[in-house]
Amino acid sequence: MEMGELTALLTREGLALLDEVGPIESSADVAKAVSRLRAAGHSPELVSAVVGQAHLRVKAHAKFGEFAARMLFTRAGLEQATRLHVATLHAVRMRQADITTVTDLGCGIGGDSLAFAAAGLDVTAVDADEVTAAIAAYNLAPFEATVRQGLAEDALPTEGAIWLDPARRTAGHSETRRTSASDWSPSLDWCAGVARTHPTGIKLGPGLDRDLIPDDVEAQWVSADGSVVELVLWSGVLARPGIRRAALVVRDGKTHELTAAADAEDEPVRELGAFLHEPDGAVIRARLIGEAGRMLEAGMLDEQIAYLTGDAALTSPFVQSFRVRETMPAHVKAISAALRANDIGRLEIKKRGMDIDPAAFRKKLNLKGSKAATLILTRTPAGRVAILADRV
C-alpha cells in the first residue's frame, strides 16, 4: 500500500466503503469487487486500498481472530506480524516482571503493541516506515498508546522495557526478501547492545544462527500449533534466573514449556522400541531433545536424527508419539506388502534424514485398504528403515 491509497482509505467514505464491501476471499472475488467499485465511480486509489484491505482482513483472521475485521494491514506487515495469542504471552511476561512501560521499536502494524496495551502497559510504538506507522496508529487507536514514525536508534527510552523486532527483510509493503543479520534494521549487534542496558525482548526468526545468540540472554523458541514461529531473546528482569534455553509450545489454546540452563545433553542412541517420538520443532531448535527424552524414558534413534524411541507408554506436549507396528526396509515393494497385509488405505507419511518427497513416494504405493496408519521413513545406525506406526 502506498501513502496515496492509505490517505484515500482513512476518510469517512473510505472506511465506510471498506465495511460495506466485507470479506473478500478469492482472487476472483478481488477482480469482481474492483470492477464493481470502479463502475460505481470510486477512484483507483480508493478501490485498490479497499479491496486490498478486505482481502488482507480475511488472511489476517488466522493471526488476529475477530480483531482482524477492524484492523488495517500491509501484506508484508501481516506476514511478519506476531500472532495475537503469542503476542499476549509476551505481554504476560512483561507484567510478571512488573514492567509498566514498554517501547516497541520496529512495531510494524502493531501486533505486539496491541497485546501490550490490552494488558494495561503504557505503550510507545515506533516504526521507520511512514505507511506502516500510520497503520499502527489506526490499529492502536482504541488504546492510549503513542505511535511515532522514526528510527529505532533515535527512539531509545530512558526507562521501562524495550521490545525490538528488527526488520529482517528488505523494505517494502508487499514483496520482500530476507537479509543477513548485519543488514537488519536495526542491526543485531545494536539490539544486543540495547539488551545489555535495558530489560529487552528481541523477536527474531527461529532459524537464527545460534552462534549469534549472546551468552547473557534467555533464548526462547516458540511454536504455535505445530509451527515454530519465533525466537525471542530476553534480557534483564525479563530473563528468568538460571534459564538460558526454553521451548514454549502453544497447542489447542494451552501453553507448555521446557527449560534448561544450557543446551541439553542428548540421551544415548538405542534400538527402536515400542514407541517413536517426534520432538516439537521448538524443542529441536532449543536443543532440549535430551530433556524430552528423559521425561519419556526414551533415547535417540540416531545421533543425527531428531527422533526419540523407548518402550514406556508415555507421551508429552513436547512430542508427537507413535506406537510402532512393524519395521521393514525402506523399499517400495516391502512397504506395499506391509500396507496390504495391514489393510492400510489412508497413510500419513513422515520422513527425516532421507531425501524423499512424501507426495511422490505416496504415488508409488498402491493404497487400497480401509484402515489408517503412519509411515515414518528415517535413518538409523543400521541403515534406512520404514516404520509403520499409529499415532498415540
Q: In whole angstroms, what is the distance from residue 54 CA to residue 74 CA?
A: 11
3-class SS of residue 160: coil
**Which backbone phi and psi does 119 adopt, to 5 degrees?**
-85, 0
Q: In whole angstroms, what is the distance from residue 90 CA to residue 245 CA?
A: 16
- Residue 253's pLDDT band, with cuts at 50, 70 and 90, is confident
Mean pLDDT score of the chain, rounded to an integer?
A: 94
Query: Cell 521499536 sits at which residue?
Result: 105
H or E element, residue 290: helix 289-295
Sequence spans of domains, the chain? 3-73, 78-260, 275-391
Q: How many CB atoms lie within 10 A of CB 154?
A: 10
2, amino acid identity: E
What is the reported pLDDT for 183?
77
Residue 204, all three cell numbers: 527474531
The 10s digit of each residue's pLDDT in 3-60 is: 989 999 999 999 999 999 989 999 899 999 999 999 999 999 999 999 999 999 999 9
Does the pLDDT value for residue 179 go beyond 70? Answer: no
The 10s digit of each residue's pLDDT in 306-339 is: 999 999 999 999 999 999 999 999 999 999 999 9
pLDDT, mean of residues 250-263: 95
- Torsion sign over Cα 303, 309, 312, 316: positive
CA angle at 149 for the pair 144 and 150, rounded to the nearest 5°: 125
- Residue 207's pLDDT band, with cuts at 50, 70 and 90, is very high
Query: Cell 520422513 sits at which residue?
Result: 351
Question: So what's the architecture of 78-260 in CATH?
Answer: 3-Layer(aba) Sandwich (3.40)
Residue 322, all three cell numbers: 507413535
Name which of 65-74, 176-185, 196-205 the model is least confident about: 176-185
As a whole number of angstroms, the longest Cα–Cα distance in the chain is 71
pLDDT, mean of residues 153-163: 95
Q: In whole angstroms, what is the distance from residue 324 CA to residue 49 CA?
A: 54
By residue count, the chain amounts to 392
What is the reported pLDDT for 15?
94
Does the pLDDT value for residue 169 go beyond 70? Answer: no
CB 255 within 8 A of CB 249: yes
Question: Taking each helix axis from N to C terminus, what angle separates 12-21 and 27-39, rounded to the nearest 10 degrees?
Answer: 130
Pairing of strands 305-310, 299-302: antiparallel
The 10s digit of each residue's pLDDT in 29-38 is: 999 999 999 9
Q: In whole angstroms, what is the distance from residue 126 CA to residue 233 CA?
A: 20
Does the pLDDT value for residue 175 go beyond 60? Answer: no
The 10s digit of each residue's pLDDT in 371-388 is: 999 999 999 998 999 999
Query: Cell 533515535 sits at which residue?
Result: 154
Does the pLDDT value for residue 172 go beyond 70? Answer: no
Q: In whole angstroms, what is the distance from residue 70 CA to residue 279 CA?
A: 37
The 10s digit of each residue's pLDDT in 66-124 is: 999 999 999 999 999 999 999 999 999 999 999 999 999 999 999 999 999 999 999 99
Q: In whole angstroms, what is the distance from residue 226 CA to residue 238 CA?
A: 25
Q: pTM value?
A: 0.91
**Nearest-10 Cα torsion for 103, 106, 112, 117:** 40
Task: Collect all residues with Cβ–Cβ distance below 8 Å to 231 and sequence separation of at least 6.
Answer: 203, 204, 205, 206, 208, 219, 220, 221, 222, 285
What is the reported pLDDT for 391?
97
CB 354 within 8 A of CB 304: no
The 10s digit of each residue's pLDDT in 117-153 is: 999 999 999 999 999 999 999 999 999 999 999 999 9
